[in-house]
A and B are shown apart, each in its own frame.
Chain A
Amino acid sequence: MNAGYIEHPTMLQSLLSVRGLLWSALIIFAAWLGWHHYGELMDPNDRSYEIGILIGATLGVIAFGLAWKSMQTLLSFVLVMTFIGIYTYSSHGDSYKAQETAFFLKFLFSSQSAIMWMNVLFVFAMVTYFFALWRDSSFAGKVATGLTWSAVAFGLTGMGVRWRESYLINPDYGHIPVSNLYEVFILFAIITAVLYLYYEQKIRSRALGGFVLMVISAAVVFILWYTFGRDAAEIQPLVPALKSYWMKIHVPANFVGYGTFALAAMIAIPYLWRDRIEKRGDMDNPWLNRLPTLDAMEDVMYKAIAFGFAFFTIATILGAMWAAEAWGGYWSWDPKETWALIVWLNYAAWLHFRMSKGWGGARMAWWSIIGLLITTFAFLGVNMFLSGLHSYGTL
């Protein structure tokens, strides 16, 4: 696994290549296009913050693409697909009903179609990953990776088109699609998949794909039930408290955290499997060649949790700052806030034990699985069972 020291190009070097400059130009153009067409839809009272977020996001996406080349491919596709979706609406008179008739919307890029594609592709990807692991087929593995990338592309497209659709139903309804349980579940699936794909490239192994996609498929099952059982896909307008630029930064940051915690918990499963094999002394077991080493898996778990923890800390602080502007206080011991604190404490403890006490191995793997249970309760359970200021997405 240890590939030795490689001189990676710095981001500046990436930028100053032909590809890097083209990429930057593309993103700046896309941002400009969005601003040109929809700039006046920005809340006039928050205009400076919204523009700040737009600029920040543009630079962030450029940097992301420079640091990880695969992002350039993915986001280029997403831009094209989203553009086709939005353009089709606009060429049908900006009518929301066009999604029932126009080909490109009905079968591909309307938010509902795109999200359904995402759902299907994720599930197929999971099956293919497991098949690849079982048959030790690198071809199947590549297919699975491709399916996952496609699912992410469709998911992001779905969110982008949904953003536009919310304005088409009624200009008052328009908002970034991270405002309720349905929308954030899609975000969760996408982010977890992207995190997985990053580590898949880093450790150069596709063996963990099926496991991580299990939690994503569980999210897909929830999305499907919620869509068909509760009509959750319908776009609802925002309650006054959510009308704020804060939503654009607090919510996604939280989900980077949730995504990494889910990823780490799912990797704990093959970790424990391999650990059991090794503890038995079963050194001829064929799985030992197919699964990554314990060190590699543990390394990914640690890095993911550390990364997610940093984002989760930021997200919680952003939430407090938002609360101070909306609810008259940065902390109200609201159930969602309190459970976010508990999740934070849990992972702070996990990291403490790993860094200061040097714990490792099966114990930490089990702990990261328990961490996911706590996270799930904070994410979903609070909305389902408890009430409070945060109950925007009750089931």
Chain B
Amino acid sequence: MDNKRSLKHHPLLNFIGSMNLAIVLLVMLAIASVIGTVLKQNEAYASYVIKFGPFWFDVFRTLELYDVYSAVWFLAVLAFLLLSISACVWRNWAHFVKDMLSYQEHTHATQLQKMALSVQGQNAQNLADFALSAEQQLKKMGFKVKTELKGEDQLLAAKKGSGHRLGYFFTHIAIIIICLGALLDSNIKFKVQELMGLVAAETRSIALTDVNPKSNIAVDNNSFRGSVNIPEGKSADVVFLTFKEGYLVQNLPFTVQVVDFRVEHYDTGMPKSFESDIILSAPELDEPIKTTIYVNKPLYYKDYAIYQSSFGDGGSQVEMRAWPLISNNTNPSVLAGEVNRIISMNTPIGDYKLELNDYKTNNIIDLPSPDVNGRKVKNLGPSVQFKVRDAQGQALEYENYLIAVDRSGAWYQASKYRRSVGEDFQFILLPLDEKQSLDRFMRFLALINDRQALDSILSQSIQQETNPDKREQLETQKRFMQQLINLFRLRGFEGIRGYLEQAVPEAGQRDQVFNQYLEIMTVALQGLYLKTLEAEGYQGDTSEVQRRFFADSIEAIDALKDYGPPMFFEITRVDHREASGLQITKSPGKDVVYFGSLLLVIGTFLLFYVRPQRLWLLLQPRQDTGTAFIFAGKDGKDDKMLKPVFDHITQQLQQAPATMQGDKT
């Protein structure tokens, strides 16, 4: 017996099973979990480098903070915690069970008298009758009673609420079960396999057949959570699992075909519902399964679950016109491409790769104030997202809208762009002419780009001048205007201001000079604009609309300085192909976790709402005056809870004429 004791109470076991350790571990777990909520998890490493800089990026990476919930140390803390709970249960289970089953019928009179709730008295009835009525009374109050004979005396030992201890077991074992279930569903085995060199993440965007064999996971893998985008009409028998900096390809023992994908929108433009009609075929099925899945209603097949989780582009066909922006001609080239494909462009000014990334059917933006109809959002219509990559591999991101956008009564072609991932998107609005086309703007721009055209326009007034000195002056002015316009074209208003900072030392004068320059430039540009309108057949005075067009054009040209590669891609037509975003999971641990959860709930209720209470009634016969009794009680750790019941029973026990002797309540 001594050996058994020392094993159960070994100091190491005591330490591991101690509540203080558990608390420390839980606090560590809580802090680690919080870190994971504040630091966005599982993002591309590139964005972390941008956010934190190379030094801290490396520090956080070593600490595994980008995937903290699978970090080795996090799992170690969790494992330790489980060990701790197990040790606690191991240490306590035997004597808890004993306690649950025991009536503690060997308690002595002196112990009863020492209890906080304890009363002594007498009852006129004889012992046998009294014992019977007392037992009935106790049973009526929900107690289980055991009678123990001690010579002439009788002890009724009563207990209630033994289930309470069960609550302790259930809750703690439940935590262990839940964690084990979660372990079954985690990707730890991939991590282990990676360490062993059996598995490696694939990072390239390539065809399935070219994928690194180490990134290919066999069908018999027991648990995973992956996603796949299947274009309408196509099918897939793999899903992709994010892993470290890349992905793994999980092979499935069945094929899922998306027959039709539908998305419905609310009148606000937000998605209302999206669903897929799918066919699941597998060798063991006589008839393939045909069903419709939508959000909140997955398809369950054997151990697998197929969810409708998102949707995307399934290779929409895009037709564009590429307008040259720094040329003096306006011949746009026609391009055709597909979303998720790359178009190579060889232009006189360099080689570019146009990557079409996505086609969105709706773009809802919040309006700063409600419009005429009282709506607070506006739908800008469909857009195409793409990147233009130069020969050095640097990419600029764009999003061009198909439908003209109106702002304060005029119509524009809108384009969003940004030069790098770290920046915000900027908008550029190219004004549209009365025919809602980009023609006029592009011709105007071409004229500005055309040095000879500018030269000839500006020279016109010079040729009319006869005075040679004046001519000289006008020539100088002409060259100055050309330079100004050039500067404006390349670097916008900012460029002019930059030039002024060097040219005009006096800060106070700069604004004045800037305004003068602006006036000069505007005159020249107006000349070019009028020429543009002439070419369209407009003569005479310009209309309000046309004047506005001019102002908008200047603004747009100013914005072009940051626009990047010298082309504007006007999206002329999109043939929308949708792809259904499915998530397919296999989680053997799910039912384990659910079982553990049930145990946890039952255990919690037992712990809080079932109180372990004990009552003892020691009866001693008195020859002359019936029975003397000692009545005592205990409630878990809080006798106060038992007091009302105790007092009530005490009253009942004293029903027949009795004399109270000693009261220790």
Which residues from chain A sit less than 8 Å from chain B, CB to CB?
2-6, 45, 170, 172-173, 231, 236-237, 239-241, 243-244, 246, 295, 306-307, 309-310, 313-314, 317, 320-321, 324-331, 333, 335, 338-339, 341-342, 345-346, 349, 352, 355-358, 382, 386-388
Contacts and interface: CB of A to CB of B under 8 A. Distances in A.
Interface in B268-321: 268, 270-274, 294-298, 305, 307, 309
A282 B605 CA distance: 40
Nearest to A316: B597
Nearest to A247: B296
Given A239-B271, A241-B295, A310-B608, A317 B19 contact: no
Given A310-B601, A338-B33, 4 more contacts: A2-B643, A317-B597, A328-B227, A386-B37
Interface of B: 19, 23, 26, 29-30, 33-34, 36-38, 40-41, 69, 182, 185, 225, 227, 266-268, 270-274, 294-298, 305, 307, 309, 376, 583-585, 587, 590, 593-594, 597, 600-601, 604-605, 607-608, 637, 640, 643-645, 647-648
Contact of A314 (B294, B590, B601): B601
Contacts of B37: 335, 338-339, 382, 386, 388
Contacts of B40: 387
A275 B274 CA distance: 58
Contacts of B271: 239-240
B585 A329 contact: yes
Contact of A330 (B274, B593, B607): B593
Nearest to A329: B225
Given A335-B37, A357-B19, A313 B648 contact: no
Given A320-B593, A345-B30, A356 B19 contact: yes
Given A4-B648, A328-B305, A333 B600 contact: no
A339 B31 CA distance: 11
Given A172-B266, A342-B34, A386-B38, A331 B585 contact: no
Contacts of A320: 593, 597
Given A2-B644, A237-B268, A357-B19, A325 B298 contact: yes
A387 B39 CA distance: 10
A244 B298 CA distance: 12
Nearest to A388: B37
B33 A341 contact: yes
B601 A243 contact: no
A151 B658 CA distance: 54
Contacts of B644: 2-6
A231 B376 contact: yes
Top 9 closest pairs, chain A to chain B, by CB? A5-B648, A5-B644, A335-B37, A328-B583, A240-B295, A317-B597, A244-B296, A306-B608, A328-B307
A387 B268 CA distance: 23
Point out which of A3, A330, A352 has the most chain B C-beta atoms below 10 A from its C-beta. Answer: A330
A139 to B, nearest CB: 31
B305 A5 contact: no
Nearest to B598: A317
Nearest to B37: A335
A295 B307 CA distance: 52
Given A239-B270, A243-B296, A328-B309, A317 B600 contact: yes
B247 to A, nearest CB: 16
A267 B465 CA distance: 93
